[in-house]
Amino acid sequence: MGCPNNLVKAQQEEQPLLSFGVISDVQYADIPDGRSFLGVPRYYRHSFHVLHRAVQRWNDQKLKFAINLGDIVDGFCPKDQSLTAVKKILDAFNLFNGPVYHLIGNHCLYNLPREKLLPALNINPSCDNLTAYYEFSPIPEYRFIVLDGYDVSAIGWPEDHPNTLKSLNFLNERNPNSDKNSPNGLVGRDRRFLMFNGAVGSDQIEWLDRVLQDATVLDQKVVICCHLPLDPEASSKEALLWNYEEVMDVIHRYECVKVCLAGHDHKGGHSVDSHGVHHRVLEAALECPPGTDAFGRVDLFHDRLVLFGTDRLMTQEMVFR
């Protein structure tokens, strides 16, 4: 685990309020190694071993919970094996001695429809509209908000669902390519208008606003989790949430949001935005060559959050404004 000396010292001096585990983009499939569209190697079978080692480490460290930032299975997984692959990954997560909070990603939705995926991931079991946003407060000082970045998207909903039709219209107006996953010709932040991305819908925006009001009243610090990154400085433009500006406008109305965690953009990244909010995109488990890892432990303090990364997942201290 790479860990600068001053962080080791800080860790020895002060006990965190709470520690939890993080991992993103396992994208497991029982298929040979491959590459991304841009040629980056992807190790579909090895990612299972990365997850397995993560869970062992989290148990050794007695972490209170874990967050999976999405994409547990890959879109190349043969569709008759989707359920088996999801079960294999969830069995590995279930070896963790604590709750695991899951986010959905585009690759999850390539494999299973929401009505199968959400119960499997124990997301919103009592919710009948198949949305995947929720919140939890593991200690009184902190609130975690999980956003559903595919709330409005052209994947994961039935073909004739209003969300699918609305999203296809949205993409047609912004991306002239016949392959709506191609950013060819799109410039700057407009390169995010791709089929493998999505948006946070209006109901979810209103809900987010209400939760942030409540957190403010309770004097809680907030960590936002979304599979899709929310800040262009932390991520490739191609990976951003379609309406990241709208979501960040809501977040910036409040002082309580300190950190946004994301996945999707496999190389990872970090930025501090104009309001002092940290954005940390996690390096993908899928892109770890055999024998290497990408997972982490996060320590929460009153004035900062420290991510201790293993191997390819970079260590990051995020001091609050």
Ligand X SMILES: O=P(O)(O)OC[C@H](O)CO
Binding site for ligand L45E5XJ5 (CB under 6 A): 36-38, 179, 181-183
Selection from 232, 300, 285, 302 nearest residue 27 by Cα: 285
* Neighbour-count burial of 98, counting CB atoms closer than 10 A to its CB (0-12 exposed, 13-18 middle, 19+ buried): middle
How many residues lie near ligand X (CB under 6 A)? Answer: 11
The rounded distance, in Å, linking the Cα atoms of 211 and 311 is 35
Find the shortest distance in angstroms from Cβ 91 to ligand X.
Answer: 22
Which H or E run includes 106?
A: helix 106-111
Residues 256-295 that bind ligand X (CB under 6 A): 264-266
What pairing do the DSSP bridges indicate for beta strands 34-35 and 18-23? unpaired
Asked whether position 239 contacts ligand X by CB under 6 A, the answer is yes
Asked whether position 110 contacts ligand X by CB under 6 A, the answer is no
- Between 6 and 184, name the residue whose CB sits nearer to ligand L45E5XJ5: 184
- Between 35 and 116, name the residue whose CB sits nearer to ligand X: 35
Structure tokens at 227: 């599979």
- 183 interacts with, out of ligand X, ligand L45E5XJ5, none, CB within 5 to 8 A per kind: ligand L45E5XJ5
Residues 165-224 that bind ligand X (CB under 6 A): 196
- Between 265 and 311, name the residue whose CB sits nearer to ligand X: 265
Angle subtended by helix axes 46-60 and 82-93, to nearest 10: 20
Choosing from 131, 163, 236, 310, the residue that interacts with ligand X (CB under 6 A) is: 236
Find the shortest distance in angstroms from Cβ 37 to ligand L45E5XJ5.
Answer: 4
Q: Report CA-CA distances (Å) from 262 to 68, 131, 283.
A: 10, 18, 10
- Between 256 and 285, name the residue whose CB sits nearer to ligand X: 285
Residues 66-95 that bind ligand X (CB under 6 A): 71
> Given its phi and psi angles, is residue 161 left (phi above 0), alpha (psi -120 to 50 degrees) or beta?
beta
Find the shortest distance in angstroms from Cβ 62 to ligand X.
Answer: 31
Find the shortest distance in angstroms from Cβ 11 to ligand X.
Answer: 32
Find the shortest distance in angstroms from Cβ 99 to ligand L45E5XJ5.
Answer: 30
Find the shortest distance in angstroms from Cβ 259 to ligand X.
Answer: 21
Selection from 270, 262, 308, 279 nearest residue 25 by Cα: 262
Selection from 249, 255, 256, 174 nearest residue 221 by Cα: 256
Structure tokens at 83: 């359920």
- Between 123 and 228, name the residue whose CB sits nearer to ligand X: 228
Kindly list the residues in this chain that would bind ligand X in the complex (CB under 6 A).
25, 71, 106-107, 196, 236, 238-239, 264-266
